[in-house]
Chains A and B, each alone.
Chain A
Amino acid sequence: MRIAIASGKGGTGKTTVAVNLACYLRNLGREVTLVDCDVEEPNCHYFLSPEWDFQQAHNVPVPSIDQDACRGESCLLCVRECRYNALIWMVNHVMTFPELCHGCGLCSFLCPEGAISEITRETGIMRGGKARGIDIYSGSLNIKEAMAPPLINQLKSLAPRSGTVILDAPPGTSCPAVATVHDADYVILVAEPTPFGLHDFKLSVDVLKQMELPFGLVINRDGMGDNSLLDYAKQEGIPVLARLPHSREAARSYSTGKILIEDLPDFIEQYEQMVNTIYSRQKA
């Protein structure tokens, strides 16, 4: 079972939920893998302090053009078909822009002269390790890189197909978030009960409905703000998986990198409820 933790707004508590959920499930005796897909700002390892035993560069294949073999202006299949706008025709040659290339390989596949070969470009690193019996994978995009999805996809491919895999998504509703959640069996949306929280929650709901993914809501810092988020969830028939209370103790515990369900055991029942709701839904 793959469970993605996502949110439209940043800083709502995705990592807190992902890390605590991983620990809760591990304590139940399950095989758990946690994949930190927020490769622009990975932070699960702050809470779990894994021993890294695996590190690998992430490379994106990018096109290299043999200008002599290229048919030139009469063809331009590669330029026309690249959906990432990574190639152009400039006066007398095809020009490539590796920073824009997603490494899909379409240009070299299409080239009728076989004039396009692939070279690699490093865009980030992937690490793996273990903490508290949980397998952890974390990726980090290099500084100045803007293209997260290829790294996220490769990072996810490291996780086993069996057991429970928890995917901590980057915030928002753009490509990196979509790349993280698209093959999840269930998505937990974490939101705060505030007007901002509700606004961005609606954006996520809209995306997940279009993707036809099952999802539920975890209200984090419940008790602050207003009731509009809860009212909206009820009105839309979105299951509320848990309501994590807004508390000074939780904030203090979080800010020192502790695991809430260990430091403040009152939180355990929230995760129990979350897991029971998700798994009973999957069985139904």
Chain B
Amino acid sequence: MKVGISSTGKTFQDQLDPRFGRAAGFIIFDLDSGQSEYLDNQGNQQASKGAGIHSAQNVVQAGANAVITGHIGPKAFAALDSGGVKVFQSEVKSVQEVIDDFRQGNLTQAHNPDKPGHWQG
């Protein structure tokens, strides 16, 4: 199983980015093999509209079965939900800590978007 974590940078020491659609990037982490890849998201950071849904599309195309982020808007949530991708929420902490929390079942699953569209953080 792979999780996509919204991240401010490429390494596990970088912080979780609390924004989903306009996150700096995503770390796609394979829980089984321990391998990871980084998806740059600067294109969506600059998009005038549709950032959330395109971030969702890209994370899912990279193979993520679950997403961990801070906050998520209505369209991105609907997109992930439509793809059967679960959304988990976390406080801002290092990506490594987020992964540890997820493995230990300490993160809560979001069942609804928690922010309106165009939320700036």
Decide if B49 touches A88 in the complex (CB within 8 Å).
no
Decide if A100 touches B49 in the complex (CB within 8 Å).
yes
Contact of A90 among B47, B51, B79 (CB under 8 A): B79
**Set of chain A residues within 8 Å of B56, measured between Cβ atoms:** 88, 90
Q: How far does the Cβ of A60 sit from chain B's closest Cβ, in whole Å?
A: 14
The 0/1 profile, CB within 8 Å of A marked 1, for residues 45-85 of chain B is 00101110110110011000000000000010001101111
Decide if A89 touches B57 in the complex (CB within 8 Å).
yes
What separation, in Å, do the CA atoms of A89 and B49 have in the docked complex? Answer: 17
Decide if A88 touches B53 in the complex (CB within 8 Å).
yes
The main secondary structure of chain A at its interface with chain B is mixed
The 0/1 profile, CB within 8 Å of B marked 1, for residues 67-98 of chain A is 00000000000010000111011111101010
Decide if B54 touches A88 in the complex (CB within 8 Å).
yes
Contact of A86 among B50, B57, B85 (CB under 8 A): B50
What separation, in Å, do the CA atoms of A117 and B114 have in the docked complex? Answer: 33
Decide if B50 touches A89 in the complex (CB within 8 Å).
no
Decide if B75 touches A97 in the complex (CB within 8 Å).
yes
What separation, in Å, do the CA atoms of A89 and B80 have in the docked complex? Answer: 11
Contact of A95 among B47, B49, B61, B82 (CB under 8 A): B82
**Set of chain B residues within 8 Å of A88, measured between Cβ atoms:** 53-54, 56-57, 79
Decide if A85 touches B53 in the complex (CB within 8 Å).
yes
**Set of chain A residues within 8 Å of B79, measured between Cβ atoms:** 88, 90, 95
**Set of chain A residues within 8 Å of B85, measured between Cβ atoms:** 91
Closest to A82 in B: B50
Q: How far does the Cβ of B37 sit from chain A's closest Cβ, in whole Å?
A: 19
Given contacts A88-B56, A90-B60, A91-B60, contact A100 B82 (CB under 8 A): no
Decide if B50 touches A100 in the complex (CB within 8 Å).
yes
Other than A93-B82, A95-B53, A100-B50, give 12 A-B pairs with Cβ distance below 8 A. Answer: A84-B50, A85-B47, A86-B50, A89-B61, A90-B56, A90-B79, A90-B80, A91-B82, A92-B83, A95-B82, A97-B75, A100-B49
Q: Which 6 A-B pairs have the closest CB atoms?
A: A85-B50, A88-B57, A91-B83, A90-B83, A88-B53, A90-B82
Q: Which residues of A contact B (CB under 8 A)?
A: 79, 84-86, 88-93, 95, 97, 99-100
